[in-house]
Amino acid sequence: MKVTALIPDDLVQEVKSLSHAKTTTEALVIVMTEWLSSKRLRTLNEKVQKSPLQFRDDFSADKVRALNRQTT
């Protein structure tokens, strides 16, 4: 998508430098992708805080490891 945006030059240069991007487009894609990941994690954390994970009474890490080690 082609977008026209007014972004301060110093901000763009800092983003390009810190992201090691070769182009402004590459820098913006990196930054936007990382921002989305961060936002998704924050949203997930909020959901878990509101409704914490509940393990079954018979849950055991050893049982899970044993299941994971089974070959199919």
In a domain, 36, yes or no: yes
In a domain, 59, yes or no: no
Contact 15, 27 (CB under 8 A): yes
* The total number of structural domains that make up the chain: 1
Range of 41's domain?
Answer: 1-52
Whole-number Å distance between alpha carbons of 53 and 24: 41
Contact 41, 33 (CB under 8 A): no
In a domain, 40, yes or no: yes
Tens-digit pLDDT string for the chain (72 aa) = 899 999 999 999 999 999 999 999 999 999 999 999 999 999 999 999 999 988 889 899 998 899 899 876
In a domain, 1, yes or no: yes
- pTM, full prediction: 0.67
- Write down the H helix ranges in 1-72: 9-19, 24-50, 61-69
What pLDDT sits at residue 53?
Answer: 87
In a domain, 44, yes or no: yes
In a domain, 17, yes or no: yes
What pLDDT sits at residue 55?
Answer: 87
What pLDDT sits at residue 72?
Answer: 63
Whole-number Å distance between alpha carbons of 13 and 17: 6
